[in-house]
Amino acid sequence: MLASSSVDLDLPLNDVVIVFACSENFVPYLSVAIQSIVDNAGATRRYDIIVLTRNISPASMITLTRQTKSDNVGIGFLDVDAALGDVELPYHGHFRPETYFRLLAPSLLPNVDKAIYLDSDLIVDVDVAELYDVDVEGYPLAATRDADTIGQIDGYDATVGPYLAYELGMDDPHDYFQAGVLVMNLAELRRTVSAERFLEIATERSWRWNDQDVLNKVVNGHYRRVHMRWNYLVDWQRLRRTHIVTNAPADVRGEYAEACEKPCIVHFAGPDNRPWLYPDADRAGLFWRYAMRSPYLDELRGQLEESRASATGLAKRAQVIVLYRALMPAFDKTCPAGTRRRATLIRGYMKVGGGNL
For the segment 273-291, the average pLDDT, to the nearest whole number, is: 95
**Does residue 329 lie within any of the structural domains?**
no
pLDDT at 357 over 90: no
Q: What is the largest CA-CA distance in the chain?
A: 60
**Does residue 330 lie within any of the structural domains?**
no
Highest mean pLDDT out of 188-192, 238-242, 315-319: 188-192
**Does residue 348 lie within any of the structural domains?**
no
Q: Express each pLDDT in 112-134 by its tens digit.
A: 999 999 999 999 999 999 999 99
For residues 136 and 145, give the distance between their C-alpha atoms in angstroms, rounded to a whole number.
16
Count structural domains, the chain. 1
**Does residue 328 lie within any of the structural domains?**
no
**Does residue 317 lie within any of the structural domains?**
no
Q: In this structure, what CATH number is given to the domain that contains residue 156?
A: 3.90.550.10
pTM of this prediction exceeds 0.95: no
Q: What are phi and psi of 267, to 5 degrees?
A: -110, 115
pLDDT at 83 over 50: yes
**Does residue 352 lie within any of the structural domains?**
no
**Does residue 213 lie within any of the structural domains?**
yes
For the segment 93-106, the average pLDDT, to the nearest whole number, is: 84
Full residue range of the structural domain in which residue 146 is found: 2-310
**CB of 46 within 8 A of CB of 15?**
yes
For residues 184 and 116, give the distance between their C-alpha atoms in angstroms, rounded to a whole number.
6
Q: Express each pLDDT in 24-69 by its tens digit.
A: 999 999 999 999 999 999 999 999 999 999 999 999 999 999 999 9
What is the three-class DSSP state of 42? coil
For the segment 92-120, the average pLDDT, to the nearest whole number, is: 90
Per-residue confidence (pLDDT) for residue 89, from 0 to 100: 80
Q: Express each pLDDT in 128-161 by its tens digit.
A: 999 999 999 999 999 999 999 999 999 999 899 9
Angstrom distances, CA of residue 333 to CA of 144, 243, 322, 323, 355:
30, 10, 15, 14, 20
Angstrom distances, CA of residue 37 to CA of 33, 48, 319:
7, 11, 34
**Does residue 323 lie within any of the structural domains?**
no
Chain mean pLDDT for the chain: 92
Q: Express each pLDDT in 287-345 by its tens digit.
A: 999 999 999 999 999 999 998 888 887 787 778 777 777 787 888 888 888 888 887 78
Task: Give the contacts of 250 (CB within 8 A, at least 6 positions apart).
Answer: none
